[in-house]
Amino acid sequence: MGLKVAPRRNVLSAINNGGAEAAPVVEFSGREDVERLLAEKMKGKSKNDFKGRVEQMSDYIKKLRACIRWYMELEDGYLAEQEKLRGTLDAENSRHTQLEAQLSNAIEELKAANLDLTRRCENLEETLSREKSEKLIAAESYEKEMQERELAESSRDLLTVDLERVTHDAKRFSEQLKMVQDTNKRLQEYNTSLQQYNSNLQADASKSGETISKLQKEKSAMMETMAALRECNNSMSSQLESSRASQQEAIRVKEELRKEVECFRAELKQARDDRDHSVAQLNNLNIELANCKEQIGRSSKECESMSTKVSALEETCNTQQDQIQTLQKQLAVATEKLKLADVTAIEAMTGYEEQKEKIKYLEERLAHAESQIVEGDELRKKLHNTILELKGNIRVFCRVRPLLRFHGDSNGLEGASISFPTSVESAGRAIDLMNQGQKLSFSYDKVFDHNASQEDVFVEISQLVQSALDGYKVCIFAYGQTGSGKTYTMMGRPGNDQKGMIPRSLEQIFKTSQSLESQGWEYFMQASMLEIYNESIRDLLAPGRPNSFDMSASKQYTIKHDPHGNTTVSDLTIIDVFSIADVTNLLEKASHSRSVGKTQMNEQSSRSHFVFTLKISGSNKNTGQHVEGILNLIDLAGSERLAKSSSTGDRLKETQSINKSLSALSDVIFAIAKGDDHVPFRNSKLTYLLQPCLGGDSKALMFVNISPEASSVGETICSLRFASRVNACEIGIPRRRTSTSI
Ligand code: ADP
Ligand code: ADP
Ligand code: MG
């Protein structure tokens, strides 16, 4: 934005408004006009013309005045402009600081998120590599399975080929059988035809026999004719003899007769030839008969051989049938084998399924193993706790709260140089502080940095809270300067994430007591809440809740201890609680009555101790056991004045009067630790009230709350030193308070 030139103005005319005389009008429009005025010279007046000179001078003076006025106005304009610019500059500056604060917060958050992500990424990579290797193994086993399956399939193929061959063979054999049966039939037919031929031959033979007998009859007839002829010859010769007379005739007759005889002889010869021929024929026929007989024998032999052949064939047929049967058996076996192969294939499939399931099972086991690791870690923590318990120390936890964003005091906003060593042996257990170039290291049972959530903190004390149910006396203190996060740690803010240790402890106690019901445990619980300010007790649960400390004589609030270690405060309201809802109501009521105190009596509130007490009595109807535990949760008064005094040392008396009870608490702790005969419990109401819990019977834990602002570094060092001294104290071994009625 440019600087605006003041508007041109008739200065002298404004001046001359008051005067009567006319004067030259002078206008100032810029630097040149002024320079011109300054360069103006006295005009031709003699040295002695004083009047003229005076006039001239006064004129000049008037002009100068107008000039000065013009300058003043110009300056006014400039001043206004400057004012405006300064305003914008301031606004810009404040915006800038705000932005810076937001930016640093955002950077911190991003860093934390980045860290968390890298951690998670590493975890994921690890699991990934593990899973990869497992997957590889699984793939290998799967490949093996596949190979086996292939083998089974190939054997099955072979078997099917065998089966095919065998069925083919069976077919061939049945064909052969058919053929053999055919031949058999044909042979039988041949046999019958041979038998027919045989019978024909026998018929022929009988016919030949008949011819032979006919021929023999003819022969005998011939012999008879021959005999008749001989008789005739004889009669002829006698006739010859008788008729010698007629010899001529007779010779002729004789001649004739001779011829006749010759003829007869030829006939005889022929007959003889015939007979010979017949005999030869007979012989022939005989031979033929023999032949026939032979043939018959041969054919019967053939028949026999045929029948033997048939029987042999029948035998082969039988053997083949046997073979067929064996082949059928083999076939059955082969089918069986095939079935088996199928079964093995199915088995391979089921094996594969099984492998898959195995992989699944292994994955499940992996998850289980991981959870076991987590459990193991928890167990380690538990064992660590046990070790501490055995040492008998007061446990000390340090908690650093985050920088608060819109704190009224912006000077203390930059953080003190607090760091948390990350080496293995001190991670989560140590804190380093830089003060004037000097590094101070402290270590405690546990250190929570500004990132620790209420849940993170509670996880560490939950076991301790648990032991109240087992019959221990448990005391948890919060120590630290005002504004360091004591109330935040103990009570927290409403809402699930921000709940403090008191509501979380109570929730856990109710949850656990309910789960123990199944084992026969029955618990009865009573709660009370009080505030100690200036050595006077205020009942936070009193009906009609007083807004100020009621010093009237009606309420005495005297503390008494009975020989059994029970503590009572007279007139104190004690309320039976049966559920989380009951306790939540009480806490709301108490925080309200305390917050009223905060607004009306700020000084008292930050100088007062808040004590929440839960008495737990449990009995087991199954075992007859009885336990009595006490849980004390204490939000101590701000420690800053005590810390300051102990740093200077010589003003201890004053401090004790201002903050007696807090120093009394440390006196008691150190006296117990030193093993002094006299422990000054009675020096303050707080220590007297907590006497049974501090006498070494209880499990005690102290939270040391730290503000991170650089402006608090002095208080912070004092708190850390005090905490270190407390951490080194042994106050004895905690005892359970139990009894058995049986
Ligand atoms: P004390 O009780 O020690 O005086 P407070 O518990 O009241 O301190 O804490 C002071 C402020 O800081 C409160 O506004 C509180 O909410 C805030 N505060 C303390 N601790 C934390 C924390 N861990 N995270 C966030 N805010 C916190
Ligand atoms: P302490 O727990 O240390 O005794 P308080 O719990 O009373 O102190 O204070 C806790 C927080 O509340 C501190 O940050 C403190 O500055 C703030 N605080 C205390 N009194 C008031 C008040 N009257 N108005 C506003 N804030 C307050
Ligand atoms: Mg507080």
pLDDT at 399 over 90: yes
Cβ–ligand 1 distance for 608 under 6 Å, the answer no
Instruction: State how far the Cα of 235 lies from the Cα of 480, in Å rounded to an integer.
Output: 200
- In this structure, which residue's CA is closest to atom 5 in ligand 1? 485
**Which ligand sits closest to the CA of 501?**
1
Question: Which of 161, 154, 159, 147 has its CA nearest to residue 348?
Answer: 147
Residue 432 neighbours by CB under 8 Å, 6+ apart? 418, 419, 420, 421, 439, 440, 441, 442
Categorize the per-residue pLDDT at 730 as very low, low, confident or very high, splitting at 50, 70 and 90.
low
Cβ–ligand 1 distance for 404 under 6 Å, the answer yes
Q: Residue 489 C-alpha to ligand 3 middle, in angstroms?
A: 9
Q: Rounded to the nearest 5°, which phi and psi values hold at 572?
A: -75, 135
Question: Which of 727, 513, 725 has its CA nearest to residue 620?
Answer: 513
- In this structure, which residue's CA is closest to atom 25 in ligand 2? 599
pLDDT at 463 over 90: no
Tell me, what's the pLDDT at 415?
67
Q: Residue 566 C-alpha to ligand 3 middle, in angstroms?
A: 29
Question: Which of 377, 612, 356 has its CA nearest to residue 474?
Answer: 612
Q: Tokens at residue 703, please?
A: 């939270």
Which range, of 392-396, 427-431, 443-447, averages the lowest pLDDT? 392-396
The overall average pLDDT reported for the chain is: 82
Cβ–ligand 1 distance for 641 under 6 Å, the answer no
Categorize the per-residue pLDDT at 703 as very low, low, confident or very high, splitting at 50, 70 and 90.
very high
Annotation-wise, does 487 bind a ligand? Answer: yes
Cβ–ligand 1 distance for 484 under 6 Å, the answer yes
Tell me, what's the pLDDT at 229?
83
Instruction: State how far the Cα of 342 lies from the Cα of 244, in Å rounded to an integer.
Output: 132
Instruction: State how far the Cα of 376 lies from the Cα of 393, in Å rounded to an integer.
Output: 24
**Which ligand sits closest to the CA of 609?**
2
Positive or negative, the Cα torsion across 676, 677, 682, 685? Answer: positive
pLDDT at 594 over 80: no
Which range, of 54-63, 229-238, 288-297, 428-437, averages the lowest pLDDT? 229-238
Categorize the per-residue pLDDT at 110 as very low, low, confident or very high, splitting at 50, 70 and 90.
very high
Q: Residue 497 C-alpha to ligand 2 middle, in angstroms?
A: 21
Categorize the per-residue pLDDT at 136 as very low, low, confident or very high, splitting at 50, 70 and 90.
very high
Per-residue pLDDT reduced to its tens digit, 41-50? 766 666 778 8
- Ligand 1 binding pocket mutation candidate from 407, 488, 606 (most atoms within 8 A of CB): 488
Tell me, what's the pLDDT at 43?
67
Per-residue pLDDT reduced to its tens digit, 642-679? 545 444 544 454 445 446 777 888 888 888 878 888 88
The residue ranking higher by pLDDT, 426 or 197, is 197
Q: Residue 484 C-alpha to ligand 1 middle, in angstroms?
A: 6
Annotation-wise, does 485 bind a ligand? Answer: yes
- Ligand 2 binding pocket mutation candidate from 487, 538, 610 (most atoms within 8 A of CB): 487
Question: Which of 637, 700, 644, 699 has its CA nearest to residue 664?
Answer: 637
The residue ranking higher by pLDDT, 302 or 355, is 355
Among the ranges 7-11, 15-19, 141-145, which has the highest mean pLDDT value? 141-145
Positive or negative, the Cα torsion across 425, 427, 433, 434? Answer: positive
Mean pLDDT of 591-613: 68
Q: Residue 401 C-alpha to ligand 1 middle, in angstroms?
A: 7
pLDDT at 691 over 50: yes
Annotation-wise, does 649 bind a ligand? Answer: no
Residue with tokens 């994430």: 497
Categorize the per-residue pLDDT at 424 as very low, low, confident or very high, splitting at 50, 70 and 90.
confident
Query: DSSP 3-state assignment of 295?
Result: helix
- In this structure, which residue's CA is closest to atom 20 in ligand 1? 485
- In this structure, which residue's CA is closest to atom 16 in ligand 2? 483
Tell me, what's the pLDDT at 16?
41
Instruction: State how far the Cα of 259 lies from the Cα of 120, in Å rounded to an integer.
Output: 164
Mean pLDDT of 510-525: 90
Paired strand residues for 524: 617
Tell me, what's the pLDDT at 709?
87
Tell me, what's the pLDDT at 147?
93
pLDDT at 90 over 90: yes
Residues with CB under 6 A from ligand 2: 482-483, 486-487, 598-599, 602, 605-606, 635, 637-638
Mean pLDDT of 322-333: 91
Tell me, what's the pLDDT at 596?
57
pLDDT at 183 over 70: yes
Determine contact, residues 594/605, Cβ cutoff 8 Å. Answer: yes
Task: Estimate the crossing angle of helix 640-648 against helix 713-727, to 10 degrees.
Answer: 80
Cut 0.75: pTM above it = no
